[in-house]
Amino acid sequence: MKILLAAHGYPPELAGGTEREVAQLARELQARGHAVTVLAGTLRTQAGLAESQQDGVRVLRLARGDLYFDHWHKSSSPAVQRAVRELLARERPDVLHVHHWLRLTRELVFLAAQARVPALVSLHDAWTSCPLTFRVRPDTQAACDAQVGPHPCVRCAGRVPPFTPWVPVEAQYMLLAERQRDLLRELTLARAVVAPSRAHADALRRHLGLAEPPWTIEVESPAGPQPSAVSFERRPPRALGRLVLASFGALTPIKGVDLVCDALRALAAELPVELELAGDESDARHAAELRQRCAGLAVRFHGAYDAERLAEHPLSRAQVFVSGSRAAESWGRVLDEARALGLVSVLPRAGAFAERADEARGALLYEPGSAASLAQALRRLWHEPELWSTLAARVPREAARSPGALAAAWEARYAAAIAAGAPAVPAAGAGAGGAGGDWYSERLAEFAVEQWDRSLSATAPRELGLEPR
């Protein structure tokens, strides 16, 4: 099969959980004899298509030249639409697998259908039902369970810089309506819509406001790391004389490392507790705030880490993996990595964590967003002498699902999609609207992008929220 995968980024430039899953799938499909091409978004700002080979996989990084293309107002790009139409016409893939639209354009499945290419969609996060992607309110840092719509989404998303004072609120209501209309069209046209967990599938249906959607969200769990052999015996907290925690992942407010630090401070006066902390610090301001927040605590910052070599990292000598994530995780790759190391886990009771973990599987759960609840869960590991050993013995240590098994499952879906063919849609140029429709619709869309960029450039950084007032 000739397979085109589309995602918002690709390693090594961007290596979050979704990007790494896409790379793993691409390598495995390529090894199984398929011709794989990845179309990836990028943070580069010089518009154009750059081709490279990454671990034997052909990668096309499509850069947008407009400003702040991650902003929710920019989820549709006429320039990217043209590039994708040209790519589909030139490459003629048998199937398109969309992993994300961000940094590309929100019409990928529709464009593929116009080119008579069937498409499938993996929903790795909540972007289809949240302009801010993670369903965490920027004002309160609390998880959001509201149905997507003008209220409260436009006001909520408007709290994140850059602010857009030149766009009337009524126009933003229309922008959101158009965004959601196009994304629902993507899901309707897809030959399969897949989520990594039942919890995530149920949340997507709820947040999209679809009690009876015209499509089924299938569940397909990702491949995970194999159990790691450790060359030392991990001792219980009381026997070691201290409780050693590990937290790893992106150091961003969404991931809630500040909650972990606050819980640590609440415990530090009553028991010996340490934290090994690793993660990308590209959000330099937040990383600096974390260091200040953890001042005086036994916290060691290790910076970015190689997820493939966690068994060799100082993190591996901890007793407990702890997550402070404020988002309802769709899967939680870090949990797989912690289990591969044999670590007991302490996790927020939300999303896929609540589905995948409990005391019977070597984990304690606490109330999401509550440092006090997290501290109480950690306190139990010190004051209940047998608890840690009991949980450690229950950590799932069977081999995680292999990349080959996951690739085989996707092969079957691709074959079914190819057999079904692409759904019927208006052909490009046949009055289909902005995504490959009448030339004037496309030109109006281009003008809107240009006008947005001109208005942003003419607005003072303070008014954009990019500098303190």
Structural domains of the chain sorted by starting position, each given as residue range(s) with its CATH number in brackets = 2-223+406-457 (3.40.50.2000), 237-394 (3.40.50.2000)
Q: 68-116: per-residue pLDDT in tens?
A: 999 999 999 999 999 999 999 999 999 999 999 999 999 999 999 999 9
Across all residues in the chain, what is the average pLDDT?
Answer: 94
Residue 261: which of 374, 388, 137, 350 has the closest Cα?
374
Judge whether residue 148 has pLDDT over 90: yes
User: Does the predicted TM-score (pTM) go above 0.75?
Assistant: yes
Percent of the chain as helix, strand, coil, to the nearest 5: 40, 15, 45
Residue 31 burial class via C-beta count within 10 angstroms: exposed 0-12, middle 13-18, buried 19 and up: middle
Write out the two tokens for 133.
Answer: 């992607």
Compute the distance between CA of residue 166 and CA of residue 168 in angstroms, rounded to an integer.
6
Compute the distance between CA of residue 255 and CA of residue 239 in angstroms, rounded to an integer.
31
pLDDT of residue 111: 97
Average pLDDT over residues 203-212: 89
Average pLDDT over residues 366-379: 98
- Apex CA 118: angle with CA 117 and CA 119, to 5°? 115
Pick from 52-61, 118-127, 256-265, 428-437: least confident: 428-437
pLDDT of residue 437: 59
Band of pLDDT at residue 231, cut at 50, 70 and 90 = low
Amino acid at the residue 320: V
Q: Is the dihedral of CA 183, 94, 333, 73 positive or negative?
A: negative
Average pLDDT over residues 333-346: 95
Q: 259-274: per-residue pLDDT in tens?
A: 999 999 999 999 999 9
pLDDT of residue 339: 95
Judge whether residue 22 has pLDDT over 50: yes
Q: Which residue is associated with the tokens 């879906």? A: 413
Band of pLDDT at residue 122, cut at 50, 70 and 90 = very high
Q: 165-202: per-residue pLDDT in tens?
A: 999 999 999 999 999 999 999 999 999 999 999 999 99
Average pLDDT over residues 40-66: 96
**Whether the Cβ atoms of residue 400 and residue 226 lie closer than 8 Å to each other:** yes
Band of pLDDT at residue 232, cut at 50, 70 and 90 = confident
Judge whether residue 432 has pLDDT over 50: no
Compute the distance between CA of residue 28 and CA of residue 403 in angstroms, rounded to an integer.
7
Write out the two tokens for 356.
Answer: 């995948």
pLDDT of residue 435: 63
Compute the distance between CA of residue 115 and CA of residue 135 in angstroms, rounded to an integer.
34
Judge whether residue 430 has pLDDT over 60: no
Judge whether residue 457 has pLDDT over 90: yes
Q: Which has more pLDDT, 365 or 211?
A: 365
Average pLDDT over residues 121-143: 97
Judge whether residue 433 has pLDDT over 50: no
Judge whether residue 434 has pLDDT over 60: no
